[in-house]
Amino acid sequence: MESQKMMNPDEVRFFCGRSNPQLAEKICSLNHIPLESTEFKRFSNDDLYIQLGASVRKREVYIVQSLCPPVDQNLMELLIMMDIARSSGAKEVHAIIPYFSYARSDKKDAARISITGRLVAELLQTAGATHVMTMMLHSPQVHGFFRVPTDPLTSQPVFTEYFQGRSLAHTIVVSPDIGAAKSAVRFAQGLGNLPVAAGNKERISDTTVRIKALIGNQVKGNHTAIVYDDEIATGGSVVEISQLLVARGIQEIWVVCTHGVFVGNCLERLAAIPQITEIVTTDTIHNLSRDRDSRLHVVTVAPVIAEAIRLNYLGESISHLFAYGGGKGK
């Protein structure tokens, strides 16, 4: 980016909540912009107090915050920080949300429940967001929940780079869910038009799924599978699809996901399948789980987010970085 037009530090302010300051630092460093300080504390009644550490008046304000556990606390921090920026005279307020967890609540599939993804999108706008940028929403329709300009970015370039130069003969890309098959196809194309299959998944509960069959190209004739998903939380989908693949003769499995939540005993469940030799995720969530499992590799999405921020600031197109539509993958 050195030879390209950069952001003017006098016109912007970058802040972050406490969910992922490591990623925020990388994004700011790539754009040669300082990450300003923010004070967080609690009142005696447990109310949250936040104070931004620099003036935002007449400036473009960027707030980086992932909605990872503790989700409600991180969401509240983001809402308060945006409200501060708006009420303090910010020119624009950009919510940079690498992981938008409520994207999983994208439909009303039971009585008396909330489509919480839509609710949170509306809360962001009410709090002052004039623009939202996120990384790989759970499903394309979530994009439509937002009434402010919203950019769903793709993590595919960092995964493609990770596997670049590796021999991928007799390798198949597998999506655990038919709904994510299009993303898997785009990823497979980026790796040299690998064959693709998708699982026919039925969700029983938040932690339990059942995958009865594989749809698409036959696994037979391939000995390696890349299981490609947007998010891994409990690991149920990956365990189910991996067991099915092993039964079909797959000898080695590389698990790839954008958002590595890895709650509870997720990594232990994956470790119980010896054919899983690599787990590759990104830093949309600052995950200490890498210390528990040597197979876990974390690649950064900071260059994608930083470039999208820079191009948006300059008024240039970022469609090539989209997860849907103009983009080339997840």
Q: How far apart are CA 158 and CA 297, in angstroms?
A: 12
Say which DSSP state 138 is in.
S
- Within 10 angstroms of residue 325's Cβ, the number of other Cβ atoms is 9
Say which DSSP state 85 is in.
H
- Residue 269, token pair as written in the block: 């469940």
- Residue 15, token pair as written in the block: 């802040």
- Within 10 angstroms of residue 268's Cβ, the number of other Cβ atoms is 11
Q: How far apart are CA 301 and CA 299, in angstroms?
A: 7
Ramachandran angles phi, psi of 220, nearest 5°: -55, 135
Q: How far apart are CA 12 and CA 303, in angstroms?
A: 18
User: Which of these is catalytic: 201, 212, 220, 330?
Assistant: 201
Give the residue from 198, 259, 249, 213 showing the smallest Cα distance to 67. Answer: 259
Q: How far apart are CA 283 and CA 300, in angstroms?
A: 5
| 108: annotated active-site residue | no
Angle at 215 between CA 209 and CA 218, to 5 degrees: 125
Beta bridge partners of residue 93, listed in sequence order: 61
Q: How far apart are CA 98 and CA 16, in angstroms?
A: 12
Residue with tokens 């929940």: 145
131-135 sheet: strands from edge to edge: 12-16, 60-64, 92-97, 131-135, 150-153
Q: How far apart are CA 311 and CA 309, in angstroms?
A: 6
Taking only Cα atoms into account, the Rg of the chain, rounded to an integer number of angstroms, comes to 20
Say which DSSP state 141 is in.
G
CA 16 to chain centre: 16
User: What are the residue numbers of the active site?
Assistant: 201
